[in-house]
């Protein structure tokens, strides 16, 4: 644990605080520094301290490297970032690969310490506003619960630290059981919800509903296969041989009771929320409306593009918002990180074929490469969320001339190779958004696709040189609905589950489901995968359902596209997608040259890095990393 902090630095620019060592040289407080005693005697300074806790959120999921690229949603285009270390199973305590700050062990405990300082000092704070004290304490409880939740869902049970350590104290402490960690997080959520109840909180700050939403997620995970001891052991020999199973899962107790607790928590959060966006439809929306619905939800009120409904911001329960006064390396540059290289973007986290293929046809049937009609035109007649989430060969995008000259007056994504007549000669033309592009030949997609979801469709924003302000959704109403549906299914209440699941499908322009039993569970899991794509859900869902060997560990499929002139047809000058001129061929290919993905059961939990193990000799390592 970090050493005790006796003097608190208040950085006025970010209204946050940094920790520093006590200096008694001349008994003078340096300019720009404020003592701990002064901080907790002043409401504004106490607010600044608690506000700094939110820096532990980082950019949310909007970073250059996204969690989607550790799942079967995306692949990270660039090399040397540690993602391959994770995906090929070579991660270890000394070589953990890519670890984001929002779940890195040491950073989370540093943030937890700030929460403990806040909770401890707000109990004895001397400023007069008791209502503000309660609000700030509620936020600190929420943030502590959130940081512990991040640790537990990546590592399993962790040491529970509630006090603020002093100098020369023994910082060694054992990992708590998974059950104790869940109970602790739930208790903090309850405390936060009570203290924040009825308050109209600013956007981006914890609220009563956010606390209940976090509680819902934690209890849903707790009820899942990965955290049921007998199920975990039965499905994995690596986990079965672990000497401390209580750190990873419940080793006793009633699983139905855990599902009931998850059900009740989801219902309580839904009841306290303002409700989701367009969750009251009784029939499927039109394809155009459905596409706009999904796009509006993804924008979260941060776009003024045509078709985007700002009212969809009601969907977000807790978001990480960006504004023009910030220049954070994260959310504002998501389009730059992930957009096409033919627009001078970086193609970072590109969709893989497995995700693209999982989007249904408009009639609710599955897409299949074995279907000759589907194979001939794989991007036609797909469900509306597909068109709001994926850029594919021939799809319309922004005015390319705003950033890449007059290379493409048709503003279409080009990820294939096409016949073209140039200077009177027929050539093979490499599309402008390929890795052989004439605009940029290094930042191109490897998969043949680009991410569209979360990139502002406003045509005046061409992300290479303009920031966007789309909020990251830590929690949104539809996740609560999914949590409730999952618990209903596990408790054999299929009719209620199906009715609510169909509300989500109607909003997405999809027909109603009719399945029951295991088939309904499969349809639910599919629906959650599609609806929550790129929202840091799939990586955790595949693990907690223990389907990772056949999902996260499968070989990736990319797409190759060719356009050959039809007999008697030619095109000279600038290329455009035109099915009257070209015969297009779409070929899915397995690719393991960029990443040779495998699944090893040790990967259900991350390793605790060696430095942390050396600092605290009472820690035990996760299975497969000993």
For residue 588, the SS3 value is strand
**b/e map 322-356, b = 16+ CB within 10 Å:** beeeeeeebbbbbbbbbbbbbbbbbbbbbbbbbbb
Q: Are residues 282 and 238 in the same domain?
A: no
Whether pLDDT at 369 is above 70: yes
> CB-hemisphere CA count at 13 Å for 169?
12
**b/e map 374-399, b = 16+ CB within 10 Å:** beeebbeebbbbbbbbbbbbbbebbe
With respect to residue 220, please indicate whether it lies within any of the assigned structural domains. yes
Whether pLDDT at 15 is above 60: no
Please tell me the predicted confidence (pLDDT) of residue 37. Answer: 85
* Mean pLDDT value of segment 435-449: 96
Please tell me the predicted confidence (pLDDT) of residue 310. Answer: 97
CB atoms within 10 A of CB 88: 16
With respect to residue 625, please indicate whether it lies within any of the assigned structural domains. no
Q: Which of 238, 272, 306 is the last residue of a domain?
A: 272
For the stretch 277-306, pLDDT in tens is 999 999 999 999 999 999 999 999 999 999
Residue pair 245/239 in contact (Cβ under 8 Å)? The answer is yes
Query: Which residue do the tokens 């589950």 mark?
Result: 497
Neighbouring-strand partners of residue 588:
559
Q: Percentage of residues in the chain with pLDDT exceeding 90?
A: 89
What DSSP letter does each residue of 380-395 carry, written as one string?
SSB-HHHHHHEE-TT-
Residue pair 351/450 in contact (Cβ under 8 Å)? The answer is yes
> CB-hemisphere CA count at 13 Å for 302?
29
CB atoms within 10 A of CB 231: 17
* Mean pLDDT value of segment 72-76: 98
Residue 2 in tokens:
């970090």
Q: Are residues 400 and 283 in the same domain?
A: no
Q: Are residues 481 and 571 in the same domain?
A: no
With respect to residue 83, please indicate whether it lies within any of the assigned structural domains. no
pLDDT band at 579 (very low <50, low <70, confident <90, very high): very high
Whether pLDDT at 31 is above 50: no
Q: Are residues 574 and 441 in the same domain?
A: yes
Q: Are residues 16 and 107 in the same domain?
A: yes
Q: Are residues 379 and 305 in the same domain?
A: no
With respect to residue 68, please indicate whether it lies within any of the assigned structural domains. no
> Residue 174 sits in a domain of what CATH number?
1.25.40.390
Q: Are residues 354 and 404 in the same domain?
A: yes
With respect to residue 596, please indicate whether it lies within any of the assigned structural domains. no
Query: In the 8-state DSSP scheme, what is residue 453?
Result: T
* Mean pLDDT value of segment 39-48: 96
Q: Are residues 198 and 232 in the same domain?
A: yes
* Mean pLDDT value of segment 595-609: 97
Q: How big, in percent rounded to 5, are the helix, strand and coil portions of the chain?
A: 40, 10, 50
For the chain, the first-to-last Cα distance in angstroms comes to 22
Please state, in angstroms and rounded to a whole number, the distance separating the CA atoms of residues 468 and 324.
9
Please tell me the predicted confidence (pLDDT) of residue 364. Answer: 98
Whether pLDDT at 570 is above 80: yes
Q: Are residues 315 and 243 in the same domain?
A: no
Neighbouring-strand partners of residue 373:
none
- Cβ neighbours of residue 559 under 8 Å, at least 6 residues apart? 353, 356, 393, 415, 447, 448, 449, 586, 587, 588, 589
Please state, in angstroms and rounded to a whole number, the distance separating the CA atoms of residues 273 and 59.
24
With respect to residue 582, please indicate whether it lies within any of the assigned structural domains. yes
The candidate with the shortest Cα–Cα distance to 433, out of 561, 339, 558, 340, is 340
Residue pair 45/39 in contact (Cβ under 8 Å)? The answer is yes
* Mean pLDDT value of segment 535-557: 97
Please state, in angstroms and rounded to a whole number, the distance separating the CA atoms of residues 181 and 152.
7
Residue 473 in tokens:
């959704």
Neighbouring-strand partners of residue 417:
430, 562
The boundaries of the domain holding residue 384 are: 327-463+556-591
pLDDT band at 327 (very low <50, low <70, confident <90, very high): low
Q: Considering its fold, how many domains does the chain have in total?
A: 3
Q: Are residues 482 and 441 in the same domain?
A: no
Residue pair 146/188 in contact (Cβ under 8 Å)? The answer is no
> Residue 512 sits in a domain of what CATH number?
1.25.40
Q: Are residues 196 and 335 in the same domain?
A: no
Q: Which of 240, 272, 304 is the last residue of a domain?
A: 272
Please state, in angstroms and rounded to a whole number, the distance separating the CA atoms of residues 376 and 13.
57
Please tell me the predicted confidence (pLDDT) of residue 463. Answer: 77
The pTM for the full model equals 0.94
Q: Are residues 122 and 138 in the same domain?
A: yes
Whether pLDDT at 398 is above 60: yes
Residue pair 414/342 in contact (Cβ under 8 Å)? The answer is yes
Query: In the 8-state DSSP scheme, what is residue 85?
Result: H
Whether pLDDT at 324 is above 80: no
Neighbouring-strand partners of residue 8:
19, 34
Whether pLDDT at 16 is above 50: no
With respect to residue 202, please indicate whether it lies within any of the assigned structural domains. yes
Please state, in angstroms and rounded to a whole number, the distance separating the CA atoms of residues 37 and 499.
55
Please state, in angstroms and rounded to a whole number, the distance separating the CA atoms of residues 556 and 74.
9
pLDDT band at 19 (very low <50, low <70, confident <90, very high): very low
CA 190 to chain centre: 24
Residue 341 in tokens:
């290289």
Average pLDDT, the chain: 93
pLDDT band at 11 (very low <50, low <70, confident <90, very high): very low
Structural element, H or E, at residue 419? strand 417-422
With respect to residue 69, please indicate whether it lies within any of the assigned structural domains. no
């Amino acid at each position: 644990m970090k050493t005790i902090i006796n003097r608190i630095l208040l950085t006025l620019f970010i209204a946050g605080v940094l920790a520093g060592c006590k200096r008694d040289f001349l008994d003078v407080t340096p300019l720009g520094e404020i003592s701990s005693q002064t901080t907790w005697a002043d409401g504004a300074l106490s607010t600044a301290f608690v506000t700094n806790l939110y820096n532990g959120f980082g950019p949310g999921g909007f970073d250059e490297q996204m969690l989607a690229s550790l799942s079967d949603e995306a692949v990270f285009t660039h090399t040397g970032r540690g993602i391959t270390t994770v995906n090929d199973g070579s991660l270890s305590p000394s070589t953990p690969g890519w670890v984001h700050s929002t779940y890195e062990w040491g950073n989370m405990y540093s943030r937890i310490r700030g929460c403990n300082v806040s909770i401890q000092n707000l109990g004895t704070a001397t400023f007069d506003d008791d209502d503000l004290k309660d609000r700030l304490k509620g936020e600190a409880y929420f943030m502590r619960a959130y940081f512990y939740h991040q640790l537990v869902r990546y590592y399993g049970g962790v040491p529970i630290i509630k006090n603020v350590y002093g100098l020369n104290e023994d910082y060694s402490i054992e990992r708590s059981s998974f059950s104790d960690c869940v109970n602790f997080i739930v208790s903090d959520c309850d405390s936060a919800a009570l203290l924040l109840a009825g308050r109209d909180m600013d956007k981006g700050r914890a609220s009563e509903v956010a606390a209940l939403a976090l509680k819902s997620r934690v209890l849903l995970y707790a009820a899942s296969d990965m955290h049921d001891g007998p199920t975990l052991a039965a499905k994995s020999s690596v986990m079965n041989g672990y000497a401390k199973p209580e750190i990873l899962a419940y080793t006793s107790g009633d699983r139905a009771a855990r599902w009931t607790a998850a059900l009740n928590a989801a219902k309580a959060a839904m009841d306290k929320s303002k409700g989701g966006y367009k969750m009251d439809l009784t029939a499927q929306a039109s394809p155009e409306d459905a596409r706009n619905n999904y796009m509006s939800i993804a924008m979260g009120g941060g776009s003024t593009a045509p078709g985007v409904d700002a009212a969809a911001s009601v969907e977000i329960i807790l978001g990480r918002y960006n504004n023009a006064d910030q220049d954070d390396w994260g959310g504002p540059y998501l389009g730059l990180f992930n957009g096409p290289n033919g627009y001078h973007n970086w193609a970072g986290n590109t969709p893989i074929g497995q995700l693209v293929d999982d989007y249904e046809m408009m009639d609710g049937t599955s897409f299949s490469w074995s279907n000759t009609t589907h194979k001939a035109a794989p991007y036609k007649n797909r469900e509306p969320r597909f068109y709001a989430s994926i850029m594919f060969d021939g799809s319309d995008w922004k005015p390319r001339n705003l950033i890449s000259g007059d290379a493409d007056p048709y503003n279409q994504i080009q990820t294939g190779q096409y016949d073209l007549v140039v200077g009177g000669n027929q050539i093979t033309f490499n599309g402008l958004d390929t890795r052989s592009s004439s605009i940029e030949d290094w930042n191109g997609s490897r998969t043949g696709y680009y991410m569209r979801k979360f990139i502002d469709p406003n045509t005046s924003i061409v992300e290479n040189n303009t920031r966007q302000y789309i909020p990251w959704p830590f929690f949104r109403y539809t996740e609560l609905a999914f949590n409730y549906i999952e618990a209903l299914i596990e408790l054999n209440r299929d009719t209620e589950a199906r009715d609510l699941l169909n509300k989500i499908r109607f909003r997405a322009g999809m027909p109603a489901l009719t399945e029951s039993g295991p088939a309904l569970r499969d349809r639910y899991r599919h629906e959650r995968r599609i609806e929550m794509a790129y929202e840091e859900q799939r990586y955790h869902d595949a693990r907690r359902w223990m389907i990772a060997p056949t999902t996260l560990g499968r070989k990736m499929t990319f797409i190759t596209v060719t356009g050959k002139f039809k007999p008697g047809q030619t095109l000279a000058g600038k290329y455009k997608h035109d099915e009257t001129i070209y015969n297009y061929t779409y070929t899915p290919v397995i690719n393991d040259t960029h990443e040779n993905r495998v699944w090893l059961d040790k990967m259900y939990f991350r390793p605790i890095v060696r430095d942390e193990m050396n600092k605290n000799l009472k820690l035990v390592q996760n299975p497969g990393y000993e």
